[in-house]
Amino acid sequence: MKFLNSMDKDFDFEFNKLVNRSNLDMDSVEAIVKNIINEVKTDGDDALKEQILKFDKWEVKNNLKITQESMKKAYDDLDDNMKNTLKKAKNRIKSYHEKQLERSWLNFENDGSILGQKITPVDRAGLYIPGGKAAYPSSLLMNVIPAIVAGVKEIVVCTPAVGGKVNDLLLAAMYLLDIKEAFKVGGASAIGAMAYGTKSIPKVDVITGPGNIFVATAKKLVFGDVNIDMIAGPSEIGVIADDSSDPHLVAIDMLSQAEHDELASSFLVTNSINLAKKVKNEIYEILPNLKRYEIAKKSIEQKAAIIVAKDKCEVIKLINDLAVEHLEIQTTDANSYLPYIRHAGAIFLGHFTPEAMGDYAAGPNHTLPTGGSARFFSPLGVYNFLKRSSIISMSEKGFNEISEICMSLAEAEGLEAHKLSVKKRLK
C-alpha cells in the first residue's frame, strides 16, 4: 500500500501514477480478442461452442439458451426473504431510473416553423453480466431495469456459465425481470455474438455491462458497429475522511472494493495524518478475517493508497484528479464538498452511506466509469438505451428568413447543389 504525503518531494510523481492507473494493457489482448470476434462473425454458434470449451472448460451439448423453466425453478426455490429482497431492490432501482426518462418535444416558432427532438428507444439491447469469480444478480438488475424503463422491446442477456451451470440466484433474477432471451456465453465471445449476431443470439443495437479486460477490449473493438455504455476496468473506491471519521469504517469500505478483484483500487484522501495512520492499521487488522483474503490482500498491496493532503482544498483537488468510480465523503460536513466534486461515478455522502448501499438497493446504477474515465463517462442509465432524432419543419416564412444564411455558407463550402436546393425554392 502506498502512503503519500503531499508535502513529500516525490509526491507529484507518485500521485500521477495513481491518476494514470487506467492503463489497461489492451494491446496485449487485442490480437486474441480480434481472433475470437472474427471466428464468431465467420462461424457463429460453432465458434461459440469451441470457444466455450477452450476458455470455460465445458462442452455445450445442447443449445446455448438458458431455458425459461430453469429460471422459474430457481425463482420458485428461493426462500421468501430472498424473493422479497430482489423485489424491493428492483422497485427502488426502477423508481430511480424512471426519473431519467427523456421526453420528445416540439417548439413552434413565431414564423410557423417547427423544431424539436424525438426520443426513441433502441430496438434491441445486449446486456453482459459477469460470472467468473462471482455471480452478480445485482448487475442484472442494474442493466435490465434501465433498458425496460427506456422502453426497449427486446433484451438479450449473456453470462458465462461455470461448468455449464448458471448461478441459481442469477436465474431467479432473470425470471423476476421476465427475461426471454438469455445465453450461456461469456467473455469476448459474448460481446462478438451480440455485436454481429449468430443463429442463436440476435444482433443487438447497444451492449452494456461490466467485465474483465477481454470484455472491455471486445467492447472497444465492436464500438461503431454497435453502441456501448463505456469501457470499464477493475472496480475502485475513493474515500474523503477527516478526524470525525471512524477509521474502522473507512478501512472496511476500502476493503469492500479490494475484495472484488486483485486489480481493484482503494484510495483514502484526508487532511489528518493521525486518521491516515489509524486507517492503515485497521486495514491490516481486518484483512486476515476476510473470506476473500488472498484477493483483497493483493489489491491492497498493489493498488491501494492513503494520501495525506494539507487542507480541505487540496483534498478536493486530489480527489477530482483521481476521478474515482465510487466516492465516499465521510466527514461531518459531507454536503459542503458536493458543489466542488467534478469527477466521480457515484458520490456517497455521510457516515451512513457506504458504497455497498449503491451496489444493491439505494436506486442509482452501480455500473460506473472506472480508471479516471469519470471525467467523461456517466453511470449507466436509461439514456444509454435511447436515441435522439432532430425534427425540422420550416414554414415558407421561416425558410425565407434563413435562406440567405444557408446559401452563403453552402457557397463558402463549395457545395453548389446545397445552394441550389435552397435557391430553387425561393420565390
**Contact between residue 257 and residue 299 where contact means Cβ atoms under 8 Å apart:** yes
Helix or strand run (H / E) with residue 157: strand 154-158
Which residue out of 97, 236, 282, 326 is catalytically annotated?
Answer: 326
**161's grid cell:** 456459465
Cell 467492447 identifies what position?
219
Which parts are annotated binding residues? Answer: 235, 257, 260, 326, 359, 413, 418
Going from the C-alpha of 149 to that of each of 14, 183, 321, 386, the distances in angstroms are 44, 22, 34, 10
**Closest by Cα among 366, 27, 102, 24 to 208:** 366
**Closest by Cα among 140, 169, 159 to 367:** 140
Collapsing DSSP to helix, strand or coil, 201 comes out as coil
Which residue out of 262, 325, 328, 355 is catalytically annotated?
Answer: 325
Collapsing DSSP to helix, strand or coil, 67 comes out as coil
DSSP type of residue 374? G
Which parts are annotated binding residues for Zn(2+)? Answer: 257, 260, 359, 418
325 assigned to active site: yes
Cell 456517497 identifies what position?
348
Which parts are annotated binding residues for substrate? Answer: 235, 257, 260, 326, 359, 413, 418
59 assigned to active site: no
**247's grid cell:** 477509521
Residues with active-site annotation: 325-326
